[in-house]
Amino acid sequence: MSFNKRYLGALIMAPFIIFLFLGGIYLKVLTLVLSLIGIHELYTVVGEKNIKPFAILGFLATIGLFLLDNDITKVIYILIPLSFISLIIPVINIKYNFIDGAITILGFCYVSLFFSFIPLVNSMDNGKYLLWLVFIASWLCDTTAYYVGRAFGKTKLCPKVSPKKTVEGSLGGLLGGAIGCLIYGVIISKYGVNIPLYHYFIIGALCGVFSQFGDLVASSIKRYVGVKDYSNLIPGHGGILDRFDSILFSSVIVFFYLSLILNL
């Protein structure tokens, strides 16, 4: 049953690939939907620890970010009012406290803001090609880490957070992401993407490190609140945050590398 559920879940996720190819407004709308679902999942699971984030504020901030066309330079117009109101509410209603406000703000940054980097990369020069770096790095890192860890893993990486992960698997994942991005760079160079190839290796290596942190962050949150998955939305795969935990972190790395290092 579990095996069949995983294939059903993969089938449900398949249309996401189509949106990556379409890009533009279609990808923006998809990331908005994923952000709203993801932030709902996070706000729901922290309730297990009696944390009561202001969900409506998080949803409104997420929609506001979308209406600002995911413009990272204008995010302060969302983040400051969100922080302002989240700090005031516990004063007006003492059944809430500053932790509730802090999780409201952090949830917006972790889920909605991180998701917004996907369409931002897509909107760059040659973004329709470069966007795939986010997913190639994450997927190959995850896959190679699993198989290398299974074959050679002996040294536990973070046993208190994710008991099955090993140092050997982590290193394998890093190399898998780096080599995969390098090969992809060679391929897209034939389509007019003129970026020195060593940058792809560096991007893949950085994503190999931080996509694993994304996975571990999601695991640490779930372990803290005492849940296995964020939700049961995707059969056999959990929720949106279970499937996109590493991709969220990779999207940040790819965006900042392309914008700050390569000035795209």
What's the DSSP call for residue 156?
E
Report the run of H or E that residue 62 belongs to, with start and end: helix 55-67
- When pLDDT is averaged across residues 39-46 and rounded to a whole number, the result is 96
Is pTM, for the whole model, over 0.85?
yes
What pLDDT does 28 receive?
Answer: 93
> What are the phi and psi torsion angles at 82 (to 5°)?
-60, -45
Pick from 43-47, 131-135, 225-229: least confident: 225-229
pLDDT greater than 50 at residue 145: yes
Question: Which token pair is 140?
Answer: 């190959």
129 Cβ contact list (under 8 Å, min separation 6):
188, 191, 193
- When pLDDT is averaged across residues 153-173 and rounded to a whole number, the result is 84
Which position has the higher pLDDT, 8 or 51? Answer: 51
pLDDT greater than 90 at residue 151: no
Determine what percent of the chain is predicted with pLDDT higher than 90. 72
The rounded distance, in Å, linking the Cα atoms of 169 and 156 is 9
What pLDDT does 12 receive?
Answer: 62
Q: Where residue 1 falls among pLDDT bands split at 50, 70, 90? A: very low
Sign of CA dihedral 26, 41, 220, 146: negative
Question: Which token pair is 3?
Answer: 């095996």
Q: Where residue 11 falls among pLDDT bands split at 50, 70, 90? A: low
251 Cβ contact list (under 8 Å, min separation 6):
114, 115, 117, 118, 121, 134
What pLDDT does 2 receive?
Answer: 46
